[in-house]
Amino acid sequence: MIQDTSSDGSAEEDRMWISVFQEGEISVFGRIFDKYKSRVVNIAFRILREKSAAEDIAQDVFIKVYEKKYRFDPNARFSTWLYRVTVNASLDVLRKKKFFGPSLNSVLRRGGEKNSSPLEMLADPAPRSDEKMEKEELKILLQKEIDGLPEGLKIPLVLHQFEELSYQEISRILNISVKAVERRLYRARMRLRKVLRSRI
């Protein structure tokens, strides 16, 4: 289970670790890495929908944490900063992919990844009932719709619905008001429900 990293207790622990790390105690960095690695990979995965790309992004983010430790203000909330860097790095890759198209490597890698292609899911040879098939198709449709959401709607949805971050944490990560987070979540859900209504 991923640890809740938005609580004050967790923030206090991070503050202490970051201060010690900035003073030169490198071993503390291992604890920071272990605490947040899954969450960082998950956030990147929700945006990029490719596990290997998400893991690459996560490693780059932690390298940045390791090398740029002096840039971080230990009094600020570390998790917010970390998730913000992760979201921005993931969006950079996503935008490049949209601009340049998928690289050959990513196309080749995708062949070995689970749940990365709707066609792979549909092509599963295991016999399924009609109801299960319809549910799978609906999942594929919804995931495609989420992938097609504008960034401004997709990121709050991903962070709240999949990563279970609070409105406050999302507002800090994206540097927008809590009301703006609520509005964007509402609009994202409305769009997805519209798709569902056409199928139900």
67 near other proteins (CB under 8 A): yes
189 near other proteins (CB under 8 A): yes
Rounded CA-CA distance 153/185 in Å is 7
184 near other proteins (CB under 8 A): no
Q: Is 125 helix (H, G, I), strand (E, B) or coil?
A: coil
Rounded CA-CA distance 150/58 in Å is 23
Q: Which stretch binds other proteins (CB under 8 A): 69-77, 86-94, 103-111, 118-126?
A: 69-77
Other CB atoms within a 10 A radius of the CB of residue 69 amount to 17
Element (H, E) at 158: none
Q: Which stretch binds other proteins (CB under 8 A): 40-48, 92-100, 126-134, 148-156?
A: 40-48
Contact status, residue 21 vs residue 78, Cβ threshold 8 Å: no
Give contact residues for other proteins (rule: CB under 8 A).
33, 37-38, 41-42, 45-46, 51-52, 55, 59, 62-63, 66-71, 114-115, 138-139, 142-143, 161-162, 164, 186, 189, 192-193, 196-197, 200
